Amino acid sequence: MKQYILGLALLIVPLVALPTSHANAQSQAEMNRQAAKDFEKADAELNRTYQALLAKLPDAESKQKLKQIQRAWIASRDAEAARAADEAGGGSMAPTIRYETMTHLTRERIKELEAMLEGAAPNKKGASMPEPSVSSAPTASPVPPKESEGEQTKSVPETPGPAAESSATSISPDKQWEYKCAEYGLGQCAPEIVKAGTAEVALDLDEEAQVHGPEAGQAEVVWAPDSKRFAFNYSPPHAHHTTYVTVAFYQLRDGEWAALHSPVDKKTEDLQLAQLGKGHLPKDFNPRRCAPQWDVLKVRSWTDANTAILYAPCYGRTSGELQAASLFTLKFDDAGNWKIIKTHQLSKKELAEEQ
């Protein structure tokens, strides 16, 4: 295990940027957008590879060590990319330089994790991880020259996706638990439930719900009034051109947080509204009229310790505007099982207020 941890630690090294090369773009703004898209794809692949490796690690200690090192690596990558962009003097090329640097380093990191994944033993109790093969840092390449004075314009580097909130916290009503999503890199944060006032992790939502990356900063916890349950509204990995928000429920059992049955089946392509609303929606309402690229289901509130209100909007396939929305009232029993006891279709007035 010590050799394994040492091998992981060697992955955190100073990194350098590569030159910009979007020669086919018609304008600097287009180059910036294309570079951002390239990074989003690389970052999504990195997250998939990282999660696959995490799932194969044999024990909690090695999982936690990988998480710490991965977060430190992301911070190092982002700092190096920012440094490379700064050398553009704040010009319009800065976003492209930053994104291309991050993309290159991310792809190198993917190779390292893939090599570790190939040598990883299946996740079995008592299994051990072989010492990973650690590749060297990327070879230094010259930073692109600054733009000429006539071409320079002030530009703030764009941030990929919604920014993570380092101050994202939520205290349970009984003040015993705290939800945190502490920032550890550019637009990256780790969601977790800790014992209030401490750093002791009670539930690692990063691993539990597979929520990570920039969208982790948009996740939220909605506590039940008695602090014995909470709803976690979050966005798991999904196609980058879509919006997908879902909810997970957790209940406190013997001092530990346990996941409850999900309201929807994440393996199906059916809209969450169609799944949850089956048998509960008005007969004249067809969920197929809703745009599949906007699939949202989240808890708005708890009316009491055993009753949660879920919100599911329906956006028009062509207009993209809010066409309808439903509120589902879920009732929980002591074991954490739930059932829908009421469905409310928002009126036109209520929809207008929503917009």
Q: Give me the mean pLDDT over the 314-333 stretch.
A: 93
Handedness of CA 6, 12, 18, 21 (dihedral sign): positive
Structure tokens, 221: 């916890």
| pLDDT of 292 | 92
| pLDDT of 186 | 67
Given a cut of 90, is residue 109 above it in pLDDT?
Answer: yes
pLDDT band at 30 (very low <50, low <70, confident <90, very high): confident
pLDDT band at 123 (very low <50, low <70, confident <90, very high): low
**Cα(211)–Cα(191) distance, integer angstroms:** 8
Residue scoring higher pLDDT (341 or 122): 341
| pLDDT of 111 | 93
Q: What is the pLDDT of residues 209-268, one digit of tens each?
A: 877 767 888 899 999 999 999 999 999 877 778 899 999 999 999 999 999 999 998 778
Q: Give me the mean pLDDT over the 327-338 stretch.
A: 97
| pLDDT of 307 | 98
Q: Residue 39 belongs to what H/E stretch?
A: helix 28-56
Q: Give me the mean pLDDT over the 50-56 stretch.
A: 88
pLDDT band at 120 (very low <50, low <70, confident <90, very high): low
User: Percent of the chain scored above 70 by pLDDT?
Assistant: 77
Q: What is the pLDDT of residues 191-215, one digit of tens each?
A: 999 999 998 999 999 878 877 767 8
The 3-state DSSP class for residue 115 equals helix
User: Percent of the chain scored above 90 by pLDDT?
Assistant: 41
Given a cut of 50, is residue 190 above it in pLDDT?
Answer: yes
Task: Pick the range with the lowest mean pLDDT from 19-28, 243-252, 298-307.
Answer: 19-28
Q: Give me the mean pLDDT over the 278-306 stretch.
A: 93
Q: Whole-prediction pTM value?
A: 0.67
Given a cut of 80, is residue 6 above it in pLDDT?
Answer: no
Q: Give me the mean pLDDT over the 93-102 stretch.
A: 89
- Sequence-distant (≥ 6) Cβ neighbours of residue 160 within 8 angstroms: 36, 39, 40, 43, 99, 187, 214
Mean pLDDT, all residues of the chain: 80
Measured CA distances, 177 to 170, 171, 261, 301, 332 (Å): 8, 6, 22, 18, 21
Given a cut of 80, is residue 46 above it in pLDDT?
Answer: yes
pLDDT band at 107 (very low <50, low <70, confident <90, very high): very high
The answer to whether the beta carbons of residues 310 and 327 sit under 8 Å apart is yes
**Cα(313)–Cα(229) distance, integer angstroms:** 24
Q: What is the pLDDT of residues 134-173, one digit of tens each?
A: 333 343 333 333 333 333 333 333 333 333 333 457 999 9
| pLDDT of 234 | 94
Residue ranges and CATH numbers for the domains of the chain are: 2-118 (1.20.1270), 219-354 (no CATH)
| pLDDT of 32 | 84
Given a cut of 80, is residue 297 above it in pLDDT?
Answer: yes
